[in-house]
Amino acid sequence: MDEPNSEESTALITDHGVPLAVRDNRSLNAKRLASYLILASTVCERLAFYSLAINLVVTLKYTELNWNPSNSATASFIFFGTSYISTLIFAVISDAKLGRAKTIIIGFFLYFSSYIMIILIANTKTHASICPNTTDSHSSIISEHCGPQIVGTLISMAIGVGAVQANMAVFGAEQIHESKVTSRYFDKYYIAVNIGAIIATLSIPVVQTDADSQTNSNNYFYGYLLAIFMLSVAFALFIIGFRYYIHTPPQDTVIAQCIPVVISAWQAWRKYHKNKLVVHRYNGDTMSRNGQERVIANEDETLSFLDYAKATNNGKSLDRHVNNVKILNRSIIVFLLLIPYWIIYYQVQITFPLQGKQMKMAFLNNEKPMPITWMSLGDSVTIIISITILNTVVYKFFDTHNRQLTIKIKLIIGMVLASLAMCITGIVEMDRQKYCTEEKDDSNLSIYFQLPQTICMGLSEVFATVASLEFAYVVAPRSAQSLLMSLQFCSLGLASFIGKGYLSIYSTTSSSVDFSCLSLNQWTFSAYFFILAVLQKKTIQYRESLSNSSVVTK
C-alpha cells in the first residue's frame, strides 16, 4: 500500500488507503462544481430526512395516531437503526458491483417511493383507506393505530436512506484529491447535514403545528409534501452534476477477501510453527540454535496472525488484501467503542423532546406554543458555528505551527463533552422534577434550561462525529471506502437498538417512557442520564488501554 501523504490526518491505525486510480482531467471549476452540487444535494436530502426523523416521536404520540410514548420511541429507534445498519449492504454493493453513483440513485428511488406512502398516511382524505382499522390497543408497536403500515414504510424509507448515506460522504470526498482538503471536506459535509437539519427543524414543525389540538388537520400532509419536494430537488441536483463527477470503478471488496486471508494465515501459521519445532530438534547445531532461532523469535514478535497470509511471508494472499482485512478488523474495534457515544447522541432526538414536552413551554407572538423540536436547534447551530471557528481560527493556527489535532484527540474530546452533556441533562431532570406540582402534568421549569445540554452535545459532535467520518475515509483502501463508512453508520444502528433496550429498563411505568409530573420517580431518568455519562467515561479509559497495547495508535 502507498505511504500516506504527510499532510494527511493522523489516523487511529497505521495502515492507510491508497490514492484514487482514476486520472482526474477535470478543470478546477468542474471539480468545485461537482463538490458543491453534492453538498447542495446533501442539504436537501437531509432536510427531507429530518422533516420526518426529528419530529417522529412527537408526531406519533400527539397526533390522531395517539401512540404510546414507548412505542413512539421504539418506532424512532427502528427508523434510525435500520437506516444505519442497511448502509453495510449498500456499501458492499457500491464498492464491488455498481459503484457509488448508481447505488445513490437506487437509494433515492426507494426513499422517494416511501415518502409517497407517508404522504398518503398523513393526508386526511386518504388516511382511512391506508389505515382502515382503528384500535385503542397500545400493547405493542404493531397493535398501534396504523402500526404495520407505518413501521413497514419507515423500514422501507430507512433502507433507501442507507443506500444514499453509505455513499454520499465518500463520493463527495472522492471529488477532491488533495488529502488536506479532503480532511476539511468532512467539516463542510457535516455543516451541510446540519443546515438541512436546521431548515427542517424551523420550517416543518411550523407547517405541521405540533400542538395537541392538531388531530384532524391536514398540516402534517403539507409538511411532508414540502419534504418530498426537497427530496426531489436533492435528486435533481445530484443528477445535474453527473457529468462533472469523477467515478471510481468498483473494486474487489474486502468482504470477499476476509475468508481466504484467514484460511491462508492459518495454513501459513501452522507450517511456520511446524518448521520452528524442527529447528528446535537440531539443538546440536550451534549456528542453528543461536542464529536461526533468534531470527524466528524476532519474526514472532513482529508478525500478527494475519501477516502470515502475505505472499512475502510464504502465504497465499496478496499483501494488499491482507492489509485491507487488517484495516477492517481494527476499524470494527474502533467503531464498536463508539457505540456508547452514539447512544448519547440519540438522546437529542429521543429523550430530549420527551423531557422538554413536560417542561414550561415558550410561546410565539401569536400565543402559539413553540414547536418542541426547535430546542434541537441549539445542537445544530452550535455545530455550524464551532466548525466555522475551528476552520478559520484554530486549525489555521495549528497549520502555521506545523501541528494538528489528530483523529484520536478529536474523538476523545467529543466523548468527554458527550459525558458532560449527560451530566448536565441529569441535573436538569432533577431540577425539572422539583418544579412539578401534583395538579399539573408539566413542570414549571422553563424549557430553555435544556439549552446547555443541547449546546454541549453540539460541541461534542463537532469533534467526535466529524472525526469518525474522517477516520472511516482516511484509513480505507479503495475496495472498502464505502464499507468503512458504513461501519461507522452500523455502529450508529447498533447503538439505536441497544439504546432502545436501555431506555426500556428505565421506563417510569411498566409500559411507557413517561416524564409526566403525575408519575414521578425522582431518580429514574436522572440515573438514566448519569449512567450514560459514566459508561462513556469508562469507554474512554478502555480505548486508551487499547491504544497503549497498540491495537490503535496515534
Q: Which amino acid is at 168?
A: M
Question: ∠194-467-491 over CA atoms, to 5°?
Answer: 85
Burial of 147 (0-12, 13-18, 19+ CB in 10 A): buried
Q: How far apart are CA 7 and CA 444, in angstroms?
A: 53
Cell of 115: 415518502
Mean pLDDT across the chain: 77
Q: Which of 60-64, 179-183, 195-199 has the lowest mean pLDDT?
A: 179-183
DSSP string, 56-100: HHHHHHHSTT---HHHHHHHHHHHHHHHHHTHHHHHHHIIIII-H
Q: In 10 A of CB 337, how many CB atoms? A: 20
Burial of 216 (0-12, 13-18, 19+ CB in 10 A): exposed
Phi (first) and psi of residue 360, to 5 degrees: -70, 115
Kindly compute the dihedral angle of the four CA atoms of residues 258, 261, 263, 266, in this order, to the nearest 10 degrees. -130
Q: How far apart are CA 80 and CA 76, in angstroms?
A: 6
Cell of 307: 501477516
Q: At what angle do helices 319-337 and 481-505 cross, to 10 degrees?
A: 20
Q: Which amino acid is at 530?
A: F
Cα-Cα end-to-end distance for the chain: 19
Domains and CATH numbers, the chain: 28-252+322-548 (1.20.1250.20), 254-321 (no CATH)
The predicted pLDDT at position 279 comes to 58
Q: What is the pLDDT of residues 337-373, one digit of tens each?
A: 888 999 998 888 778 887 888 888 877 766 677 777 7
Q: How far apart are CA 220 and CA 228, in angstroms?
A: 12
| pTM summary value | 0.72
Burial of 440 (0-12, 13-18, 19+ CB in 10 A): middle
pLDDT of 83 over the 90 cut: no
Q: What is the pLDDT of residues 371-430, one digit of tens each?
A: 777 787 888 889 899 988 988 888 888 878 888 788 888 889 999 999 999 999 999 988
Q: What is the pLDDT of residues 458-502, one digit of tens each?
A: 999 989 888 887 887 777 666 666 777 778 788 887 887 788 778
pLDDT of 274 over the 70 cut: yes
Burial of 397 (0-12, 13-18, 19+ CB in 10 A): exposed
Q: What is the pLDDT of residues 12-38, one digit of tens each?
A: 443 344 444 556 677 888 888 888 899
Residue range 106-112: average pLDDT?
A: 93
Q: How far apart are CA 528 and CA 456, in angstroms?
A: 18
Per-residue CA distances from 498 to 74, 81, 216 (Å): 11, 10, 35
pLDDT of 186 over the 90 cut: no
Closest CA to 23 of 202, 246, 225, 173: 246
Q: What is residue 38's DSSP assignment?
A: H
